Amino acid sequence: MWPLGVYFLGILVLLLGMLGSTYLLGGRTSQRKNLQPYESGIVSTGSARVRLSAHFYLFAVFFVVFDLESVFLYTWAIAVREVGWAGFVSVSVFVASLAAALVYLWRLGALDSSR
């Protein structure tokens, strides 16, 4: 039990050390010029809170879902000899269901980026 206590004590000392060093070594100036946003040498104009349509987020979620497909297929391809025909059938069902989902999204118009 004592190694766990030493571990948590070490984390606490490290955390307090990092917070204390930033407090002691950090800058203390708070001029108006320092509080303005500055990106890549260009003074920003307008608000940083740009409204994006929900379609943008839907497209991002679809990308993540179909990108995960490649991860599953890659792991199957590595273990193809160990999983045999049962693995092939399960991957075929997986790919068919994702293909059906892609066709459904396509016919629904969810992948149309001109909206």
pLDDT in tens, 64-83: 888 888 888 999 999 989 99
| Nearest-10 crossing angle of helices 54-78, 80-108 | 160
Domain count of the fold of the chain = 1
The 10s digit of each residue's pLDDT in 5-36 is 999 999 999 999 999 999 888 877 777 766 66
Task: Give residue 17's pLDDT.
Answer: 96
- Whether 37 maps to a domain, the answer reads no
**Is 47 domain-assigned?**
no
Domain of 58 in residue numbering reads as: 54-108
114 DSSP assignment: T
Is 103 among the domain residues? yes
* Residue 96: CATH number of its domain: 1.20.58.1610
What count of residues does the chain have? Answer: 115
Q: Where are the alpha helices (DSSP H) in the chain?
A: 2-25, 54-78, 80-108
Confidence of residue 41 (pLDDT cuts 50, 70, 90): low
Residue 81 lies in a domain: yes
Q: Is 33 helix (H, G, I), strand (E, B) or coil?
A: helix
What distance in Å separates the CA atoms of residue 81 and residue 88, rounded to the nearest whole number? Answer: 10
Partners of residue 39 on adjacent β-strands: 42
